[in-house]
Amino acid sequence: MSLLKLTYIAHGWHLEMRGQPLFPNRIEAWQYGPVIPDVYRDFRRQGINVQGPVGTVLNAPIAPDDEHLLEQIYASYGNLAPFQLSDITHVPGGPWDIATQTGGYYAPIPDDLIRQHYVAKRLEAEKHAANA
C-alpha cells in the first residue's frame, strides 16, 4: 500500500530534517516493507486504494512546517508506482533490511536507524550534486 510507504518516507525525512519523529507510532519491518501498524489497521478496510479519510484522531494539529514537508514528500514521491516505493523502502542495508535481518518480520524499526539512513541519503545527494 503506497500510503504506508509514503508515511514511512515522510517520517524518515522528518527525522533527518527536524531531528524528531513526525509521529510517535511504532514502525515494524513486515514482509512487504516498513509498516505503521496503527495506520495499516485504520486504512486496511479500504483495500489497496485509499478512498477517503478514516476516524484516526490526531493528538495535535499539523504544524505549518510539517504540512509543507508532507506536501514536498507527496510532490516528490506521490506519483511513484508502488513497486518504485518498495525499491526505496527495501534498499539493501536500509532500515527495513537491517531490521528484518536482525529481528525477522514484525521487528521494530527504531527511529535512530531510520534517521541515520535518511542522513546518509542527504549526504549522498549533496555529494552527488557537488560532483555534477
Instruction: Give long-range contacts, CB 8 A cutoff, 24+ apart: 47-55.
Output: 48/1, 50/1, 50/3
Measured distance CA(71)–CA(78) in Å, rounded: 9
Tally Cβ neighbours within 10 Å of residue 3.
Answer: 17
Indicate whether 60 pLDDT > 80.
Answer: no
Per-residue pLDDT tens over the stretch 65-121: 999 999 999 999 999 998 999 999 999 999 999 999 999 999 999 999 999 999 999
Residue 34 per-residue DSSP state:
E
Indicate whether 43 pLDDT > 60.
Answer: yes
Indicate whether 128 pLDDT > 80.
Answer: yes
Instruction: Tell me the residue ranges of DSSP E strands in the chain.
Output: 28-30, 33-35, 107-108
pLDDT of residue 49: 58
Indicate whether 52 pLDDT > 60.
Answer: no
pTM recorded for the entire structure: 0.88
Ranges of H-type helices in 34-94: 37-43, 64-77, 82-89
